[in-house]
Structure 1
Amino acid sequence: MTNEPNEKNEKTEMKQPSRKKQQTSKDKTPINRWKVAFLLLIAAIIGSSAFVFMRITQVREPNFKPVPELVEADGTPVIAVQSTKKQVNALIDFYLSDFQKGSDITYKFYLENEAMLNGTFEVLGFPIQFYLYFDPYVMDNGNIQLKAKSLSIGTLSLPIKEILKFVQRDYKLPSWVEVNPDDSTILLRLDQFRMQNGLFIRAEKINLVDDDIRMNVYLPKDKEATTTNSEGETN
């Protein structure tokens, strides 16, 4: 008679550990789910950051437009033009407004005490505005080199080289504008630019601080010869 209660107690004691195991396993399940969700969130953040970095730094084959033949360097300067920054900015704004018609991505270029390129690019669907500042230099051949010196882009920290790669890849630029990200320059190839009437221009002086910009307008050799002949016939 005395042994029966002991046997029941032993059976109940044997069953108790299994209940504890079931309870602990149930308690652990929510913790594991939270861990998985947290790891997935971290993976998504890392993946998005990697995608943005690759999108910004990726170098695609630029969609170069056919470059016209070099303009004949020889000719006669027929007009010497001395302008101010305000006058040049009005001309640039008129040219770019017409040139960028129908383009999804637009930009501005204007002169202050420095030359400035203002545009935007997207990060995760949000437009980010940047200001890229240049020092302009007149080259011996009459072209203009813009040397990038500083970049303003809000709280982001990106090298000038990567912004120039973006400009080269995604912006609609005239065929006579060369972007060189490796040396942080933009070259305005005036020797590849010709007006509709055949005239071409060469830069002579650019002094933005003193507001002194000078260029010469040239008459190409073939036009010069035609003009001389017509004058000789009339005389």
Structure 2
Amino acid sequence: MKEEKQKHKKATQENEKKPTNKWKIAFIVLLGIVVGLLAFFFFRATQQREVIQYDTQPIVQREGEPVLSINSDKKQMNSLIDFYLRNYQKDSDVEYHFQLENQAMLTGDFKVLGAPITFYLYFDPYVTDDGNVQLKADSLSVGTLDLPVKQVMKMIEKSFKFPKWIEFDPDEKTVLVRLDQFRMENGLFIKAEKINLVDDDIQVSLYLPQDKEK
């Protein structure tokens, strides 16, 4: 009789332990799923699908006096940028937008785990000594995700189509607008003189092609 009571007590204790074990197993499985999803997301965000290489062209020296100096503002420049990008991206499956506010802002969507993610990347623009424009990444907004600017810039560079005169440098968190490599249809060059977005003051100069300057 005593032996039967001990067996019954042991069975009861084992049954009491089972729910605890089930909860432990469920927790471990859930934790594994979460860790797996995070690892997969990090892999997708950091993997290099292809190496994008741009042939860096030498700086085109624009000497002499400009044929025309233009004072503009953000509203006018945004209209010009929007017009150019609409035409440039008309055959593209994905679109991005670039506009000037108190900072320069690049925005668009890319997919992570099949879900569209909207990004807002803010830059501070600087005019270089050779009349090009450097955009220095200042801050990033990607919904509730906390991603490094460097990795997002790599994803943007791979996901979207940019003109050849736009050079990304994710390691330095910069984008160089190579105006010395951009020509209008009539051959005129553009050189940036001043960009002050806070005071809404933008100045550029137009130069004749080099072979016409001689």
Fold shared, TM-score > 0.5 on shorter chain: yes
Amino acid at match of 2:128: M
Mapping of 1:165-184 within 5 angstroms?
Answer: 165-184=154-173
| Unmatched tracts of structure 2, length 5 or more | none
Answering whether residue 133 of structure 2 is matched by residue 140 of structure 1, we say no
Amino acid at match of 1:74: R
How many residues get paired?
Answer: 213
Aligned to 1:214: 203
Please give the alpha-carbon distance, in whole angstroms, between the structure 1 residues aligned to 2:82 and 2:191: 20
Aligned to 1:233: none
Amino acid at match of 1:122: K
Amino acid at match of 1:163: V
Please give the alpha-carbon distance, in whole angstroms, between the structure 2 residues aligned to 1:199 and 1:61: 35
- CA shift, 1:26, in A, is 9.7
Aligned to 2:144: 155
| Unmatched tracts of structure 1, length 5 or more | 1-11, 229-235
Answering whether residue 74 of structure 2 is matched by residue 121 of structure 1, we say no
Q: Percent identity?
A: 53
Question: Pick from 178, 192, 196: which aligns with 1:189?
Answer: 178
Matched-pair contact (CA < 8 Å) for 1:202–1:216? yes
Please give the alpha-carbon distance, in whole angstroms, between the structure 1 residues aligned to 2:156 and 2:166: 11
Answering whether residue 101 of structure 2 is matched by residue 112 of structure 1, we say yes
Q: CA, structure 1 residues 35+209, in 2 after alignment: closer, same or farther (shift >3 Å)?
A: closer
- CA shift, 1:69, in A, is 4.7
Q: Secondary structure at the match of 1:195?
A: coil
Cα root mean square deviation, aligned: 2.9
- CA shift, 1:124, in A, is 2.1
Answering whether residue 56 of structure 2 is matched by residue 52 of structure 1, we say no
Q: Secondary structure at the match of 1:163?
A: helix
Please give the alpha-carbon distance, in whole angstroms, between the structure 2 residues aligned to 1:200 and 1:218: 5
Higher Rg of the two aligned structures: 1
Matched-pair contact (CA < 8 Å) for 2:72–2:203? yes
- CA shift, 1:169, in A, is 2.1
Q: Secondary structure at the match of 1:205?
A: strand
Q: CA, structure 1 residues 179+20, in 2 after alignment: closer, same or farther (shift >3 Å)?
A: same
Question: Pick from 81, 101, 112: which aligns with 1:92?
Answer: 81
Answering whether residue 48 of structure 2 is matched by residue 73 of structure 1, we say no
Moved more, 209-218 or 70-79: 70-79
Please give the alpha-carbon distance, in whole angstroms, between the structure 1 residues aligned to 2:77 and 2:176: 17
Please give the alpha-carbon distance, in whole angstroms, between the structure 1 residues aligned to 2:87 and 2:59: 23
TM-score normalized with structure 1 length: 0.75
Q: Secondary structure at the match of 2:154?
A: helix
Q: Secondary structure at the match of 1:182?
A: coil
Q: CA, structure 1 residues 57+18, in 2 after alignment: closer, same or farther (shift >3 Å)?
A: same
Question: Pick from 85, 92, 102: which aligns with 2:91?
Answer: 102
Q: CA, structure 1 residues 30+104, in 2 after alignment: closer, same or farther (shift >3 Å)?
A: farther
Matched-pair contact (CA < 8 Å) for 2:124–2:136? yes
Aligned to 2:153: 164
Amino acid at match of 1:207: N
